[in-house]
A = this chain, B = another copy of it.
């Protein structure tokens, strides 16, 4: 895909109206309070990796609605003192996979939580272990983006973002973790969830947000027709009289609005030829972001963004920040 969105100069200035709902804050306060009415009920089960350097535990806790959410906890062996931690959120369709998929942060000395995205993790080779025990009141396109999209209380990402906040609480509840040094990280859908955690959870000290999904959604469906945004496009093409209702639901979850409520230091990345998460939708979130921030721009890349190149950069950035 060649360049198809705004120019880099325009992107740096691009700050569209957020369409933030008046009750945004109370919606989330109520949602999280309800979730916290269930005990976190963290369980950790040894998972033998046969790795001398890293130990793994199968982790589960109560997320939204008191429903169980699974994940991994990986810890570097042999490091002294309380460890800093990273909570890692996953891309669309991915599951927690194998511990071997997530060795970078433990190798860098971080206790690492990898959180399943409920219901996801059944393709692409990375198996999930968490169902979405809640149904939805309205029909939806195959996929997760339009589940319950006609009502913010019924919307799928209300459950996922709540799970994400609780996963930060899990990090705080772990032995051997330094609670002042907990970061969140993710790419694409994982970037969206990271933004949500940075905005909604307490005790997050840094956020790394790569090519985030679910940001400036009303524009996204006008400039791209790739999956997963195409799911929403499919919905509004079929439910022609429910477009405003669907977009109103999403406004509680849009990265632009969440960004405006996040205050921790953040490192974003964006790719200027990204047809999955178009750069204008990423900059829309970045330019609204309320905390200290940097963004790495990859001018020729598509949705792969900075790849492992960016991972190495993030290790350096986070270690400096947490030094």
Contacts and interface: CB of A to CB of B under 8 A. Distances in A.
B104 A100 contact: yes
* Most interface-central of A103, A107, A231, A236 (chain B CB within 10 A): A107
A302 B237 CA distance: 8
A120 interface: yes
Contact of A243 (B146, B299, B308): B299
Interface stretch (A122-130, A173-181, A207-215, A252-260): A122-130
**This chain's copy number in the assembly:** 6
A158 to B, nearest CB: 14
Interface in A94-131: 95, 97-101, 103-104, 106-109, 116, 118-131
A221 interface: yes
Contacts of A101: 308
A318 to B, nearest CB: 9
A116 B131 contact: no
A38 interface: no
Contacts of A237: 123, 125, 298, 300-302, 304
Interface string A31-68: 00000000000000000011111100000000000010
* Most interface-central of A2, A100, A139, A141 (chain B CB within 10 A): A139
Contacts of A109: 51-53
A222 to B, nearest CB: 5
A309 B133 contact: no
A265 to B, nearest CB: 18
A78 interface: yes
A211 B298 CA distance: 30
A148 interface: yes
A139 B308 contact: no
A276 to B, nearest CB: 13
Contacts of A236: 300
B146 A316 contact: no
B143 A119 contact: no
Given A95-B139, A225-B2, A316 B50 contact: yes
* Most interface-central of A1, A135, A138 (chain B CB within 10 A): A135
Interface of A: 1-3, 49-54, 67, 76, 78-79, 93, 95, 97-101, 103-104, 106-109, 116, 118-144, 146, 148, 154, 221-225, 231, 233-241, 243, 273, 298-302, 304, 306-309, 311-312, 315-316, 319
Given A100-B104, A122-B139, A122-B140, 14 more contacts: A50-B315, A99-B312, A100-B311, A119-B139, A121-B238, A123-B238, A124-B234, A125-B307, A127-B239, A129-B139, A133-B135, A133-B137, A142-B142, A236-B300
Q: Which 9 A-B pairs have the closest CB atoms?
A: A128-B139, A123-B234, A103-B103, A133-B135, A131-B137, A121-B139, A142-B143, A98-B308, A52-B109
